[in-house]
Amino acid sequence: MADDIVFELLHSEIINYSLEQTKDNNNDKKEVDLSVVEYIGFAAGYKIMERLTREWPRFKDELDTMKFICTDFWTCIYKKQIDNLRTNHQGVYVLQDNAFRFLTNFSNGHQYLEFAPRKMASEELVTEQFQFFGLDVPKEVISKCVSLCEEYNIDAESFIEQWMAFSLNNLNGASPDLNNLDVFVRKEFSKRSANRPNATATENGQSVTGSGLTVYGVGAPRVKIEIESANHPNDLCPASYSPTVGSAKYASRTNPGAVVHSYGDETLLQRIAEPCGPSDFLNLRIAQVPNDDGDTYTKAMFGFELLHEKASMFDNNIRYLSQCIMKKNGIPEVTSVRCKTQAEVSVAGRIECDADARLNPKSVVLQGTWEHSLSQTVPVDLDNVKQYSLFPGQTVVMRGVNPRGDKFVAQEVFCDASLPIADHKTDMMNTLNGKMSIVIAAGPYTTSDNMAYEPLKDLVSYITTHKPHLVIMTGPFLDSEHTKVKDNTMAETFKSFFDKLIDNLGDLSNSSPNTKIYIVSSSKDAFHVNIYPTPAYSSKRKHSNIHFVPDPCTLNISGIVIGVTSTDILMHTSQEEISLGMSGDKLSRLAGHVIQQQSYYPLWPAAPGLAVDAALWAAHAQLAVTPHVLVLPSNFRYFVKDVNGCVVVNPEHLTKGTGGGTFARLLISSDNNDKKISAQIVRI
């Protein structure tokens, strides 16, 4: 009740102040005053709603916002719902209240258009906006700006923002003067007289009711933006205070589309580049393989870790993996890592380094489990071991002796705890029948010297032409380390730009309606949380063909299991691994660690710059099954390899510095109860 009194008092004072400006009985002037009061109410409500709904996840689009205004908001302020809501589906909404509490019925006319802009820009507001940017502008220039705001129906804040962008792009950041403003008006506003609200609606063949709302910044500008977007459907550049120029090195590349690596069945390779037609349609059933606790992301307190809980998680992981290793190698039991014995025994634990430095053969320490060793550690002598491949965080079982209890002299090291390959015929109701085409790309999606996103545009063109069944894209989409992100030249929020990218990807539903796009998050994105494992992205843009999944994730695609991460575990492990006498190539060995340790990120402590949450790691970074395909994007050179029956794909990155990179395309066949996988690495 108190709020109602304050609101009514404020409202009456606004009216009294406005009417006091007119002492005579001039009806025309009173009509103008009433129009001004109406505008104040509309403008205040518009600003309030814009601020309330801008970042709330509840409001996924404009229609959700308008429904909130018509119900909850209107009921709270005016004690009733709105009587009618209409829209032209072009960004213009008309709210009708037949019994407004404080004023007479709203008019549908254009009586505000001439007078309301005077309240949208005053000399005080324009001066304040210039001072915000550190500019001291002469009075005659301020007056000119106010008159331009009135003439072109724009508020002070928007006018100054447009001027700053124009000045930085065309005048090297010069301060405004009368001559500069004339140039600005000719270039930016010369076409506005032809794009009045009625003209804009007519050109689009739409009937716009209540066009008087355009004075509040709701109508014509929003339709104009939509028209521009329709004319440039692939414009992926962010709004910027500096011009966006494409990469000369990327544009001059000589081998786009070249196949640089092939793997798999020759018969499938002959068809892998063929576009998918209507006859190739597959009714794919795609599901994320669940983790131990599906709600961990929603209830996680990032960075808040209790040491005893963290220690317990690691101990459980060591105990579980060591039991898998023992079972696989026929080891009946293990003893304490500190047990004094000259007889050969087996011990289980996790590899650590005895100092805050890179692991070396003389600094290896083994931490035992609480059950057998009370989590004690012991130095390890590897001189008698003929072959090993070790890194911090790795769970192993060692066979050897410990004569004095202070050093374990190892004879043999076991580290393979891998799970069986998933059976693609287990669920007969969810089995791939036919050939499935997949495209896999890893970010970043623009070159390091600009934000033109040319590689992403080319990837979209490839998808439009070839129409694969599935596209898997891993982040980052807006790399926090990109120079254009660091120097703050973007004139829009990171989140809004990401939404723009999603809208462009969503348009693929028109050109390639049967293509499903799965986007894997990355902790390196500027608009997302910097934590690993990384929750799935969220966007107010909803497209039926786009699905967001966390990093890492495991997908079951009609019985074909694909594991994906956007984190470069291969490079991180390579920087910490020590090895001796191992057969095979290094990249296969590094990928094998992921499979053998049943974890997308078995390294601990994590590489610098990667913030790992122990609770999330335990729940979401583990492999529930060995997948058929494992996607591990890396700075290492692209490859496709068979590792213990799993096809490991490193598509590298879509961009490499200022030049183009590569992506992967796969063709998976499940005919005649047999699964075949072929893959190629292609230059963008």
pLDDT at res. 670: 79
**68 — pLDDT class (breaks 50, 70, 90):** confident
Is 540 found in the same domain as 495?
yes
Assigned token pair, 123: 């000399």
Checking DSSP bridges between strand 646-650 and strand 629-631, what pairing results, if any? parallel
176 in a structural domain: no
Q: What is the CATH number of the domain that holds 311?
A: 2.40.50.140
Is 472 found in the same domain as 519?
yes
Q: Which residue range is the domain that position 657 belongs to?
A: 259-301+420-570+606-683
365 in a structural domain: yes
Please state at what angle helix 178-188 crosses helix 139-152, rounded to 10 degrees. 20
- Give mean pLDDT, residues 474-487: 90
Is 461 found in the same domain as 318?
no
Is 526 found in the same domain as 384?
no
- Give mean pLDDT, residues 581-609: 94
Assigned token pair, 244: 């966006």
48 in a structural domain: no
Is 361 found in the same domain as 293?
no
- Give me the number of domains the chain comprises: 2
pLDDT at res. 294: 54
565 in a structural domain: yes
pLDDT at res. 412: 95
pLDDT at res. 229: 38
pLDDT at res. 173: 78
pLDDT in tens, 403-426: 998 999 999 999 999 999 887 666
Query: What does the mean pLDDT of the chain come to?
Result: 80
Those residues whose C-beta lies under 8 Å from the C-beta of residue 589, and which sit 6 or more positions away, are 389, 579, 582
- 665 bridge partner residues: 439, 680
* Per-residue pLDDT at 676 exceeds 80: yes
pLDDT in tens, 505-537: 988 888 888 999 999 999 999 999 999 999 999
Q: What is the DSSP letter of 71?
A: I
24 in a structural domain: no
- Give mean pLDDT, residues 441-457: 92
Is 550 found in the same domain as 464?
yes
* Per-residue pLDDT at 195 exceeds 70: no
pLDDT in tens, 367-379: 999 989 888 999 9
Most confident of the following: 111-115, 430-434, 449-453: 449-453
Checking DSSP bridges between strand 435-442 and strand 470-474, what pairing results, if any? parallel
Assigned token pair, 72: 């909850």
pLDDT at res. 197: 42
Q: What is the CATH number of the domain that holds 615?
A: 3.60.21.60
- Give mean pLDDT, residues 266-281: 87
Helix (H) or strand (E) holding 343: strand 341-353
Show which of 414, 448, 474 is a domain's final residue: 414
Is 524 found in the same domain as 472?
yes
Is 358 found in the same domain as 405?
yes
**218 — pLDDT class (breaks 50, 70, 90):** very low
User: What pTM did the predictor assign?
Assistant: 0.68
